Amino acid sequence: MQDKRKGKSLMDKIKETTANIKGLDTKLMEEAQERLDSLTKPLGSLGRLEELAKQIVGISAKESPKLKNKVIFTLAADHGVTEEGVSAYPKEVTAQMVYNFVRGGAGINVLAKHSGARVVVVDIGVAEDLKSSPELVIRKIGYGTKNMAKGPAMTRDEAIKSIEAGIAVFEEEFKKGIDIIGTGEMGIGNTTAASAITAVFTGRSVEELTGRGAGVDDKGLKNKIEIIKKAIKVNQPDPKDAIDVLSKVGGFEIGGLVGIILAAASKKVPVVIDGFISGAAALVAYKIEPKVKDYMIAAHCSVEIGHRIILDYIGLKPLLDLDLRLGEGTGAALGISLADAAVKILTQMATFKSANVSEKIK
């Protein structure tokens, strides 16, 4: 499998990126724990915030990290499986919402601004040509995937290219400075793809992990389950081959997020995972390189039952449970706020010694 323009194997960039994903800095994490234990509070009393601060020290390999440059990547793509009536919304909404992101009117824009993050909007596979804008990155792999109920959603080459496009998008933004990222997406029909990916990798039944997505009724849910089962039967994705699964039942935006997650981990940048579709991308990334798990922070647990199944499978504990199911990176924006708070606890609180406060009686 050669990319003639570069004279390289299409997989080279992915292999190069994953090879740079190392373990966390355990020595600095031990030192962070010592500092946390010396702060003016009862031992462990800030719970998950303390765990989060310690994890970010280990990821960044910095004794006193600062989360100044925060970026949420929101990737958009269409899905051919919408032909099967799996969504409550028409596929045109994908492009319409991208314009909403670009104008700053969506939920992700509001919550990103609240958390001090900027949003990078990427067209990686919207089914129409979008108007150019300084606020929009075009990395289109194709005009939406094929209908996975009838055959593979994409070719293997397209799956690899979607991952490599995500890596390229991250690396371009990394030049501007990134301390933490969040993952987000937009794509009518993408909970169908996420459900199929989750079923293949976890071995759980389609009925058990498929939710209502953007709001299908009972009849729509039954149809969605049948279509996912059909797609898996038709394509026979190999759970031991992450790229095979992505190509057969995935989406371009899911592949792009896989690349972003892998690239961030390779650069020692914490990755705040949003909801179900971002979770499916995290699952594919984890299957490609298990070490990436340590770089992931689960922002929340979605209403979509499949999301909890993913988090349990990877071994991630969500920070929040707010009945969210919007996507876009909205939950990740909230998670980034908590990560920022955690780091400030570590770096700005006084110790018992510096504050001249008496410690616990031994």
Amino acid present at 67: L
Residue carrying the six token digits 């915030």:
49
Per-residue pLDDT of 20-39, as tens digits, reads: 999 999 999 999 999 999 99
| CA gyration radius, the chain | 20
The parts of the chain modelled with pLDDT lower than 70 are 1-8
Structure token digits, residue 136: 């929009």
Amino acid present at 335: G
What are the boundaries of each domain within the chain? 11-66+345-355, 70-338
Q: Which of 207, 165, 327, 193 is nearest to 251 (CA)?
A: 193
Amino acid present at 187: G
- Sequence-ordered list of residues with C-beta below 8 angstroms from that of 50, at least 6 positions apart, any chain: 36, 44, 342, 345, 346
pLDDT attached to residue 215:
87
pLDDT attached to residue 357:
87
349 Rama class: left (phi>0) / alpha (psi -120 to 50) / beta: beta
pLDDT attached to residue 6:
47
Instruction: Give the residue numbers annotated as catalytic, written as ranges.
Output: 328
pLDDT attached to residue 8:
60
Phi and psi angles of residue 273, each rounded to the nearest 5 degrees, phi first: -85, 135
CATH architecture of 11-66+345-355: Orthogonal Bundle (1.10)
pLDDT attached to residue 10:
74
- Sequence-ordered list of residues with C-beta below 8 angstroms from that of 184, at least 6 positions apart, any chain: 72, 73, 74, 75, 108, 119, 274, 278, 327, 328, 329, 330, 332
70-338 — its CATH code?
Answer: 3.40.50.10210
pLDDT attached to residue 162:
98
- Helix H, strand E, coil C: the string for the chain is CEECCCCEECCHHHHHHHHCCCCCCHHHHHHHHHHHHHECCCCCCCHHHHHHHHHHHHHHCCCCCCCCCEEEEEEEECCHHHHHCCCCCCCHHHHHHHHHHHHCCCHHHHHHHHHCEEEEEEEEECCCCCCCCCCEEECCCCCCCCCCCCCCCCCHHHHHHHHHHHHHHHHHHHCCCCCEEEEEEECCCHHHHHHHHHHHHHCCCHHHHCCCCCCCCHHHHHHHHHHHHHHHHHHCCCCCCHHHHHHHHCCHHHHHHHHHHHHHHHCCCCEEECCHHHHHHHHHHHHHCHHHHHHEEECECCCCHHHHHHHHHHCCCCCECCCCCCCCCHHHHHHHHHHHHHHHHHHHCCEHHHHCCCCCCC
pLDDT attached to residue 2:
47
Separation CA 343–CA 21 (nearest Å) = 22
